[in-house]
Chain A
Amino acid sequence: MNPKIQTRELSFYYGKVQALNRVSLSINEHQITALIGPSGCGKTTFLRLLNRMNDTIPEVRLSGEVLLDGQNIYQPGVDVVEVRQRVGMVFQQPNPFPKSIYANVAFGPRMLGMNRQLNLDEVVEKSLRAAALWDEVKDNLNKSGAALSGGQQQRLCIARVLAVEPEVILMDEPCSALDPLSTLKIEELMQALKKRYTIVIVTHNMQQAARVSEWTGFFLLGEMLEYRSTQELFTRPQDKRTEDYISGRFG
């Protein structure tokens, strides 16, 4: 199995506060990797390093490497915009733009220079279908994205990412603002998507990690304590602290 993304000794600081300490891990292609851990353990920070979203935060510092297909994305001269195109992201709060459903999905392709209406229509339909939202919105494509329910909004955001045809999709607690039924839909969607994409998901919800992922990493206080197959991690954790966490003794 090829690692799609590899981090090497990745450390990260907000000002003088260290948020991550030498995290090394490999993320396999076409599989779902879950990152779990208590609030403030650095898992979201880690996720945002994988597509350089933390670049937008002032006064941060990083050491170590993030390799995407073997290429360090923090190397000088790397095209950040291209990295983010290849590594898309779905956020905790559904964040559709205050535009129509159509314009939301067409946004990425348009920014990449796709302007022909015919092609755009095709991409929009394909992406909405892949995000399992097409049937619910096909008659209302001009309606505002903000008018959808929370779960639909999150699927719209997934469709929006798919329209750019990324290789990796990062999901930052994508279901934490959603009800159980919407959560289930997103989880089913993830299973369908992993055939074509590599998915990394940060989640607070250990059942979710156990349900959807092949690999799980446990973060605590900025370190990655344990990383192994999901089944092993949840049935035979090696580290005492992992065991305490997954059995609900803290966090």
Chain B
Amino acid sequence: MSRYFIDRISKRGVFTLAMVAFLILVFVAVFMLRESLPALSKIGLGNILLGVKWYPSHDSFGILTMVAGSLVVTLLALAMAVPLAIGCAIFLAEVAPPRIRRITRPAVELLVGIPSVVYGLVGMIVLCPLIARFSGIGSGSSVLAAAIVLAIMVLPTITSISEDSIRAVPAQYKEGALALGATPWQTIRHVILPAAHRGIIAAIVLGTGRAIGETMAMVMVIGNSPVFPTNLFAPARTLTGNIAVEIAAATGLHESALFTTGLVLFIVIMIINSFGLIAYRRAK
């Protein structure tokens, strides 16, 4: 009797918790939508999304430059980080002797946990001056600096999840391939990586989510000018940075436009995650 009772209670308990989590998400979305309404109705979604001028003092709130900023920085960062991370994961999971693994594994996990402001600081102090000297333009706060910092930040995330999924490939597959006279590299390339495919895609999607949502480090190294990211060595601004830089001083329509920025960010991340999910399901 009593264990059936506990079973029923715990089922309901877990269900309630799940509903609470879901409702919080809905509440946040509704709240953002409500706060965005003034801007959406006065300026119009089209003008916000496709507008290229962000002049709060003139009630001009176009965020296309920042959508572009977020996407370009994220894509550049991924282009740098993904090949490196997968190579790193293969090395750690398949090639490195156990002695090296025992050191690198905790090191990589430590890197995941470093607060982003620290990455931003190092970028600001070390990377930006280097880029300034190399390019001869401005302070070095730039799209390139942001992309490099971001690449370094997502590298450990993608590496550690990819490594886990490579390790999760049954040893029997590996032994089967080796016993057929495949070289270790052929075994990795034709058996282990295809079998770890889904985990690696999940790792990249997670890294992308982290990259596009990253705020502090971006604000510190990208220069925050609301212009199109057309020059690697010139500043730009991300959606996240837009909110962080301006929210403290914003009121009225300006504040509402920043909430709209948040809403757009929310939707962009949802779209990326859906693409990730589709890729994940297809990769069998």
Contact = CB atoms under 8 A, between A and B. Distances in A.
Interface residues of B, number: 20
Contacts of B191: 97
A98 B183 contact: no
Chain A CB within 10 Å — which of B98, B172, B195 has the most?
B172
B246 interface: no
A111 B190 contact: yes
A189 to B, nearest CB: 18
Interface in A70-109: 81-82, 84-85, 88-89, 91, 93, 95-99, 107-108
Interface stretch (B103-111, B154-162, B173-181, B220-228): B173-181
A56 B174 contact: yes
A91 B180 contact: no
Given A58-B98, A111-B186, A164 B172 contact: no
- Of the four ranges (under 10, 10 to 19, 20 to 34, 35 or more), the interface on chain A belongs to 20 to 34
A72 B181 CA distance: 18
A160 B178 CA distance: 12
Contacts of A85: 180-181
B172 A95 contact: yes
Interface string B63-80: 000000000000000000
Contact of B180 (A56, A82, A98, A160): A160
Interface in B8-60: none
Contact of A97 (B97, B177, B178, B186): B177
Contact of A107 (B170, B172, B177, B195): B177
Interface in B78-118: 97-98
Chain A CB within 10 Å — which of B173, B175, B176, B190 has the most?
B176
Given A58-B98, A107-B190, A95 B176 contact: yes
B206 interface: no
5 contacts: A53-B179, A58-B97, A81-B181, A85-B180, A91-B175
Interface of A: 51, 53, 56, 58-59, 81-82, 84-85, 88-89, 91, 93, 95-99, 107-108, 110-112, 157, 160-161, 164
